[in-house]
Amino acid sequence: MTRKTKRQDWTPPAVAEPAAWPAAARPAVAARTPGRGLLAVALVLSALCFGMFFALRADCGSTVDALRAHGAQKVAFVSRTGTDKFGELTHVDVTFENAAGSHRGTLCVPAGGSLPKGVTTGSAVAVVYDTRRPSRVMLAAQVAHPPGWSLSTVLSLAGGVLFLGLGAGVFVRRRMMMRGR
């Protein structure tokens, strides 16, 4: 086979100019205008933070409200405890008896609360249990005075406010730049 040779009279084909936008329809977007993606990300993160805040607050409130409405106070005995690698209590299983018989439950800890220090197997603790669901148990002190705010609730609320403010700022900045101010 022989090699192809270039033609001496070859010229590249003519390229048509791209159609220009009409002056009125041309989008007036400045080079440094914040994108819609940044606004969407800020609003999604704000919604997630507010969702975590309300989930943490609702968990504490619903458990305490249910135990206040349908709870009975008893002395329960610790049957088993669990700790994490730092030696902090992660769960406490208790047993108690009422007129219906013997019941077993795990201490429920509301958001912002903590399990009591120094609890060992066999020790007695004052609890409130739900008469409709006896496995739902909480310390009597935490039912009487539920913990208010924890680090997780404060951080999730602050994150929600921060990201909502950031989203509002991006929205206002984008509107100002689109209008040419």
How many whole angstroms from its chain centre is CA 75?
A: 35
Cβ atoms 136, 67 nearer than 8 A = yes
Ranges of each domain in the chain: 36-178
Between 58 and 157, the more confident residue is 157
Beta partners for residue 104, in sequence order: 95
Structure confidence at residue 23 (pLDDT): 59
**Mean pLDDT to the nearest integer, 148-161:** 89
pTM: 0.57
Q: pLDDT by residue (tens digit) across 61-97? A: 677 778 888 888 888 898 888 877 877 777 788 898 8
Q: What is the pLDDT of residue 153?
A: 87
User: How many Cβ atoms are within 10 Å of 170's Cβ, its own excluded?
Assistant: 19
**Block residue for tokens 């705010």:** 149
